[in-house]
Structure 1
Amino acid sequence: MPCSDDTASRSRHGNDIPVGQDRIFDGLADKFANSLYATARGQIRLAVLDDMLSRALPSDGAPALDVGGGLGQMSVWLAERGHHVTLAEPSADMLAEARAGFGRLPVQTLQAPIQALPELAPGPWPLIVCHAVLEWLAQPREAFSLLNALLAPGGRLSLMVFNRDALRFSNVVKGNLDKALEDRLSGTGRRQRLTPISPLTHADIERWCREEGLVIESVAGIRIFHDYLRERSPSEAQLATIIELEKRYCRVEPHWRLGRYLHYLIRRADGTNLEETS
């Protein structure tokens, strides 16, 4: 695997989190539930993902690994569609909240970081979901290689990452001009601030897929409009319209490129065409 330049990148961008330390969200389960999923931001995120993935992923009961699944929304989504799900999450607080919502659904849980999964949940997995995880890791490039190693030949990865380019644009819109000009975009990982420590770009994911011999089947932006609105608490009618706009344009140039998150469906070669995809 190529050497990672993540440490140098964080040094350039003023990130003061200790090198090698990932962000784990113990003590923040309520904050995630209340400030994200109970708001328009979370509703839009889940609605767009549901619209895309319900058409792209078969409900065939295949085993699925939900990496860093947090409060368990995607594990529930997968289990309700017939998948046998293993949710891996390093935060005890987040995992406890997730378990409370599973009921009788076929979801197993594993308190473990992504780095432990080759030993604890090696698969190989026909389907892996990894949403909003890599940007909280000190070494996201290494974690991406681990995801590839966990995939079965022909397996698919649903990957969502925090978009560094959208973060820059958002800072300009908010008037943080010097911060944007100096490219000081990464968060510090301190207290309850939720700016990711390793936000990523589309170019990062394209390059890593080439290096790993993975094929990008589709790419979309998540929250391509909402986060730039002046009115951040829309009415129910306005929210329905925004969700329709988000669904309609999430894969359309140039809108998807400024989504707060970038979502990828990625396929691992089946073993017969590795040279073509490397």
Structure 2
Amino acid sequence: MTDSTPLSPAGDRHFDGLVEKFAGSLYGGPRGALRLAMLDELLPAMLQLDGQPLLDVGGGLGQLSAWFARRGHPVTLLEPAGDMLDQAREALGGLPVSFVQAPLQALPERAPGPWSLIACHAVLEWLSDPRAAFATLADGLAPGGQLSLMVFNRDALRMSNVVKGNLQKALDDRLEGTGRRQRLTPISPLCHERIVAWSQECGLSIHSVAGIRIFHDYLRQPPANEDDWQRLVALERRYCQAEPHWRLGRYLLYTLVKEGEQSCRENRR
């Protein structure tokens, strides 16, 4: 069964018409609660924050923008889906947030910067050309600027399929989604090695990395009570940056820093 949202002309998945799904089953459930709890702890530890302006690329319903805005950062939220942006505008009323309806690829024209701080969480995996999008983000950074990047982890998706018994699918490496179904399997899940390679291409250094939901998604049964939930959160916090556990986080969270002024696109030629 398909939903009402087609792929964009560029082959990217946008999320028009899915406000209720994101607000309810994704962010309103334990997966979203754990993701936000981990960000609440990891972002101050992984980033150098001094109230600098933030560009939130693909900011969706605005949870991340709200986190930064409430800590004194003026925020520009860039989001292609109009209904997502409307919901974010309503939820973030009174906070120092401005809104731009545009896809990531329009960043050079609509929010050129250069920016000392960019956040792009759970976006690249929904694009047909995530490498080019990564280059766009890198070029939008000021020298010394920080990119908080979170991507859907291809290795975790493989592990999840094995745990579920989808053995042939894992052997065939058929892990990508089509972008047209309600299950929302990303069309371009990414592995750590690819982020390392693209960072080198674009003159970015990886200052830190963590796994988000390194245990939760492999549980046979969800936590039975609040005490078990707190134990799970404690485990996630303890091991999210420890080898080898971070590598199987459902999402990988990076802090990338721009080393110089050369354009990423110049390096890729």
TM over 0.5: yes
- The yes-or-no answer on 1:99 pairing with 2:81 is no
- The yes-or-no answer on 1:69 pairing with 2:59 is yes
**Out of 218, 222, 225, which is 1:235 matched to?**
225
**Out of 197, 211, 214, which is 2:204 matched to?**
214
Structure 1 counterpart SS, 2:232: helix
- The yes-or-no answer on 1:174 pairing with 2:132 is no
Percentage of identical aligned residues: 63
What is the deviation of 1:234?
4.2
What is the deviation of 1:58?
4.0
Structure 2 counterpart SS, 1:81: coil
Aligned match of 1:88: 78
- How far apart, CA to CA, are the structure 1 residues paired with 2:55 and 2:80? 14
What is the deviation of 1:93?
1.4
Aligned pairs, number: 259
> Is the contact between residue 206 and residue 255 of structure 2 (CA under 8 Å) also seen in structure 1?
yes
Aligned match of 2:16: 26
Divergent runs of 4+, >6 A: none
What is the deviation of 1:33?
1.2
What is the deviation of 1:228?
0.1
Q: Once the two structures are superposed, what CA deviation does each residue of 1:166-204 show, in whole Å capped at 9, x if it has no partner? A: 000000000111111111000011132210000000000
Instruction: Please list every run of 5 or more consecutive structure 1 residues that lacks an aligned counterpart in the other structure.
Output: 1-16
- The yes-or-no answer on 1:186 pairing with 2:176 is yes
Aligned match of 1:148: 138
What is the deviation of 1:59?
4.1
What is the deviation of 1:230?
1.0
Change in 2 beyond 3 A, CA 1:99/1:252: same
- How far apart, CA to CA, are the structure 1 residues paired with 2:93 and 2:10? 36
**After superposition, where does 1:120-139 map in structure 2 within 5 Å?**
120-139=110-129
- How far apart, CA to CA, are the structure 2 residues paired with 1:233 and 1:36? 17
What letter corresponds to residue 68 of structure 1 in structure 2? G
Aligned match of 1:159: 149
TM-score, length-normalised on structure 1?
Answer: 0.89
> Is the contact between residue 136 and residue 197 of structure 1 (CA under 8 Å) also seen in structure 2?
yes
What letter corresponds to residue 77 of structure 1 in structure 2? W
- How far apart, CA to CA, are the structure 2 residues paired with 1:151 and 1:260? 26
Structure 2 counterpart SS, 1:83: coil
TM-score, length-normalised on structure 2?
Answer: 0.92
What is the deviation of 1:18?
8.8
Structure 2 counterpart SS, 1:109: strand
- The yes-or-no answer on 1:224 pairing with 2:214 is yes
